[in-house]
Amino acid sequence: MEITRGYYDLCIPFSDRSKLKTLVKELIELGYRTIAIEQTYDHSKKTGEKRADIFPAPEDLSFLKEFESKIKIFSRLTIIYTDVSVSHPMSKSVNLQKFHIIAGQPKNDTAWTHCCSTFAGDMITFSPDDPKIFINRKTYQVAINRGLFFEIKYSEAIRNSSHRKDMIKVSHNYHSKGKSKGVLMSSGATNVFELRGPYDVANLGLLFGLSEEQGKNAIGANCRKLLLNAESRRAGKTFFVMTAKGPIVFSSSEDEGSDDEDSALEDDAMEGLEIDLQQPSKKKRFT
C-alpha cells in the first residue's frame, strides 16, 4: 500500500488537461494531499456491442507528474447501473483491476440491494438526478460489514438548490438508518469555484447529519480505510511462507511436568540473581 496523507478528496471528475491541472493546483493550496480522478461508465445504457472488456481503461495521468511530490493521485471508476447483470462483466474485466478505487452508483432499489450485498467495489455513491432509492437499515448494515463506504458529493449542494434538498434528505437517511457510519465526503467539483477547504467540508458535514468527529473522519480516517480496503481487493487472495532460523522444538503433554520443573528452577535462579544484585558488594580494605 502506498503511503497516503490527509486531507482526502476522492472524487475529481476527469476533464481536459488544463482544467484538471488548475483543479489540482487549487486542491494543493487548500491543503489536500490525496485525491482520486474519477471516470464513469454507465452500464444502464447498453449499446449491444459485445467486447471482451466493456469497462474503459484508466486515463493517462502522466501530465500530472509535476505534482507528484506535493499530492498523491489515484484513479477511480464509478459504475452506474440498474440491474445485477453488471456482476458478470465485472468478474471478467481486466481494466477494473487497473483502477485504485471502484464505486457503484445504483439507480433503483434492486441495484441498491445488490450494491450493498454483492457489488465487488469499495464505495457507494449517488446522484440527485437519479430516482429516489429506499434506504433500509438491513442493507445499510450489510454494506458496512462488507467494508463499503457511502459517499456524499458536496459540490452538488453548491451547484443546485433543488439538489441540495435531495442530498440533505439522502444523507439524513444515512444518519437515521445507520448513524452515518462509513460516510465520506468528496467534492465532485468540475471547477475551482466548487472546491472548499478541508475544515469547511468538515463543518459542512453538520448540515448532512454528521457529528463533529464524523465530519473530520469523512475527509480523513474513512478515506484512508477505503484505500486500504481497495488495495486488499486488488491484491486478492495471497499467501506467505514462514521459515525458521533455528531448531524447532515440539512439546507434548507428557513433557509438561518436566517443563514446569525447568521453569521453576529458572525462576529460582532469577530470584537469586535479583537478591545478589540488590545486596551491596563487599570489598576488602587494605591498609
Helix (H) or strand (E) holding 81: strand 72-81
Q: Which of 99, 30, 24 is nearest to 65 (CA)?
A: 24
195 φψ region: left (φ > 0), alpha (ψ -120 to 50), beta (else): beta
Angstrom distance (rounded) from CA 217 to CA 12: 19
Alpha helices in 93-181 (DSSP H): 109-117, 137-145, 155-159, 161-178
Residue type at position 172:
H
Angstrom distance (rounded) from CA 120 to CA 148: 10
pLDDT tens, the chain, 287 aa long:
567 888 999 999 998 899 999 999 999 999 999 999 999 999 887 665 677 789 999 999 999 999 989 999 999 999 999 989 899 999 889 999 999 999 999 999 999 999 999 999 999 999 888 878 888 899 999 999 999 999 999 998 888 888 888 888 889 899 998 889 999 999 999 999 999 999 999 999 998 999 999 999 999 999 999 999 999 888 876 655 666 666 666 555 444 444 555 555 445 544 444 444 444 444 444 43
Write down the pTM of the prediction. 0.79
pLDDT for position 266: 47
Contact 102, 120 (CB under 8 A): yes
Q: CA dist 39 to 15, 42, 74, 200, Å?
A: 9, 10, 11, 26
pLDDT for position 13: 95
Spell out the residues 6+ positions from residue 272 whose beta carbon is closer than 8 angstroms to its own: none
Helix (H) or strand (E) holding 78: strand 72-81
DSSP assigned state of 264: H
The domain 8-235 having CATH identifier 3.30.70.100: the answer here is: no
Angstrom distance (rounded) from CA 263 to CA 126: 63
Angstrom distance (rounded) from CA 185 to CA 198: 10
Per-domain residue ranges of the chain: 8-235
Taking the CA atoms of residue 187, residue 189, residue 193 and residue 197 in that order, the dihedral angle to the nearest 10 degrees is 20
For residue 7, whether the previous peptide bond is cis, meaning omega lies within 30 degrees of 0, is yes
